[in-house]
Structure 1
C-alpha cells in the first residue's frame, strides 16, 4: 500500500500497517477532529486525529523507527473520544489525559489485537508501555514525533509556516540514543517559535477557548439529561452532534446555536464571562551540537524569552468577555 502525505512524502507500507489503517478503529479517527470544538467555531481548524496518527507513524518511519514503533505511533490516539480534549473538561481529567486512562480498554475491545496476531505481533508488547518508544514519546520539554507532527501539521494547514520550511526543518532532525534532537540553533529557534504559535496562539486563541467552554458545558448538560452516555463518546463528533439535535431539548439546542464563529470576544481578566486554563505545554529542547546535547535556553536568548512568555500565558489562562453573539 502506498501512502502519500503532503508533509513527509510517499511511502510503501507493510501489510500490517495497511490492515491497521483499514480497521474501523483507525477509520473512526477520520471523523474525530484534532482540535475538539475548534472546527465548530472556525471551519479552517478542521484537522483530524486520523491525519495526525498517519503523520506520526510516517515521521517515526522516516526517522528510522522499528515497525513496532510505527504501529505504536499509528495507534497512540485511537482512544481519543469525540471532540478530543474537550472531553477532559467534561469528565474533569485535570491532566487532559482521559484518552490515556481508557487507552488499553479501547485497544482490547477492538480488532487491533487480532490484526497484530495475524502478523505475529503481540499487541501488549507494543501498547502496554508507550514510553518505551523513544522517538514517538518524550516528556516535555524535549521533542518527540507526536509533538512535532501536530505542530507542523496544524501550522502548515493554518498557513503559519511553509512546506519548504517544514522540509528544511525535517532535514535537521537527528536520532541520538533513539531520541529526536535538532542539530541547528537556528532551526531549534524556528521550531520553538512554531510550537508556541500552536500551543499558545492557537490552543489559547479566544475563539478556541470559547468553543471549548461552550461545548464542554453542553456535553455535561447532555450527560445530566441522559441525552448522551459516556460510552457514546467513543463514536464520532458528527454522531454526538446529531444526538444532541435529535433530543429536541430546548436548552441544549439553544446552547448549540451559540457555537459559531461570529461571536465577538475580548480578553479581560477583570470583567469576564469565562476563564479557561489548559495543560502547560512548554518546550526547551536539547540541541545536538559538536557531539553533545545542549539545552536550547542556555545558548539561545530567543528560546529563553519565548519559554518565559509562554509560561506566563499558560499559567494565567484566558479570561473572556462576550461582547455579542
Structure 2
C-alpha cells in the first residue's frame, strides 16, 4: 500500500507494516488528537496520534531503520488514551507516562501479537525501547518521535513552511545509530522550531485553557461515575459523546465553554487559571561535521542562548484570565 504523507511524501509499505497499519488498535489512533484538548478550542489544531505514528514509522524507514524498528515506531503511541496526555493531568501522573504504564497491557489485549506472530515476530520485542535508538532518545537528543511531532505540528499549523521542512530533512543523518545534523544552521533552525512547539504552541494561553477546562470536566465525570477509567481506552469521539449525553448540567456547562471564540488574557496578577509549567523540554542536537561530533550549544552561541531562555520559560506558570466565554 502507498502512503502519501504531507511531510515525507509518498512511501510504499507492505507485509507486516501494512497489516499493522490496518489493525483495529492502530486505526483507533485516528480518533485521538495529539494535542489533547487543543482541537476543542481551535479546530485547526487537529493532528492525530495516527498521523504522527505513521510519520514516525516513515522517518525511521528513511533513516535506514530496520523493519523491527519501523514496527516499534508505528506502535509506540498505540496505548495513548482518549485526549492523549490530558489523562495524565486527570490522574495526576507527574511524569506524564500513563500510556507507557499500560503499553504492554494494551498490546496484549489487541490483535497486534497475532499479526506479528504470523510474520515471525515476538510482540515482546517492542518493549525493549533501549534498542530503538532512532525512534526514542532522552532529551536533549534528537529522535524520530521528537522530530516528527515538531515538524508535523508546526507545518500543519502554518508555523513553518514545506521548504524549511525539506531543507532540514536533507541535513539529517545517522552516525553510530544516533540521529545528528550535518550543519550548525540546521541545528539552529530545529532548536528554534522545537521551542515554537514546546513553548509557543504547547503553552499557548488557549491551549492551556483547553487543557485546564477539559481536565476539570474529566475529573468531575469520573468522580460522579459518569465516566470510568476504562472509557479512556476508547477515543476522543466516544468519550465526548458520553459526556454530551450524560444529562448533567454542570458537565454540559463546562464542556460548552470549550470553543475557539473564548477571549483570554495573560495576567499573573489577576487570573482565573494557573497552568503549571510541564516538563523541562530542552533540545541540544548533536552535529557531525568533519568526523567530529559535538553538541549544537557548543558550536552555536544562538542555540546556547535559546536553551537558556527556554529553561526559564518552561519553568514559568501560565496565568490566564478569562475575559469572555
| TM-score in same-fold range (> 0.5) | yes
The TM-score range, normalised by the shorter chain, is over 0.9
Find the aligned partners of 2:314 and 2:210 in 1 and give their Cα distance. Answer: 18
The answer for unaligned runs of 5 or more in structure 1 is: none
TM-score calculated relative to the size of structure 1: 0.98
Find the aligned partners of 2:324 and 2:137 in 1 and give their Cα distance. Answer: 42
Displacement of 1:317: 2.3
Displacement of 1:80: 0.5
Q: Once superposed, which parts of structure 1, at least 4 consecutive aligned residues long, lie more than 2 Å away?
A: none
TM-score calculated relative to the size of structure 2: 0.98
Find the aligned partners of 1:79 and 1:71 in 2 and give their Cα distance. Answer: 14
Does residue 293 of structure 2 align to residue 288 of structure 1?
Answer: no
Displacement of 1:7: 1.2
The answer for unaligned runs of 5 or more in structure 2 is: none
Deviations 1:271-317 (A, max 9, x none): 22111222221101111121111111112111111111111111112
Partner of 1:174: 173
Find the aligned partners of 2:127 and 2:298 in 1 and give their Cα distance. Answer: 36
Deviations 1:64-97 (A, max 9, x none): 0000000000000001000001111001110111
**5 Å matches for 1:21-60?**
21-60=21-60
Deviations 1:2-32 (A, max 9, x none): 1111211222213100110000000000000
Contact 1:40–1:260 (CA under 8 A) maintained in structure 2: yes
Partner of 1:115: 115
Report the secondary structure of 1:214's partner residue.
helix
Find the aligned partners of 1:32 and 1:308 in 2 and give their Cα distance. Answer: 34
Q: Aligned pair count?
A: 324
Deviations 1:109-138 (A, max 9, x none): 11100000011111112x122221000000
Partner of 2:20: 20
RMSD, matched Cα: 0.9
Partner of 2:232: 233
Does residue 316 of structure 2 align to residue 313 of structure 1?
Answer: no
Find the aligned partners of 1:102 and 1:132 in 2 and give their Cα distance. Answer: 20
Displacement of 1:155: 0.6
Contact 1:36–1:83 (CA under 8 A) maintained in structure 2: yes
Contact 1:204–1:317 (CA under 8 A) maintained in structure 2: no
Displacement of 1:39: 0.2
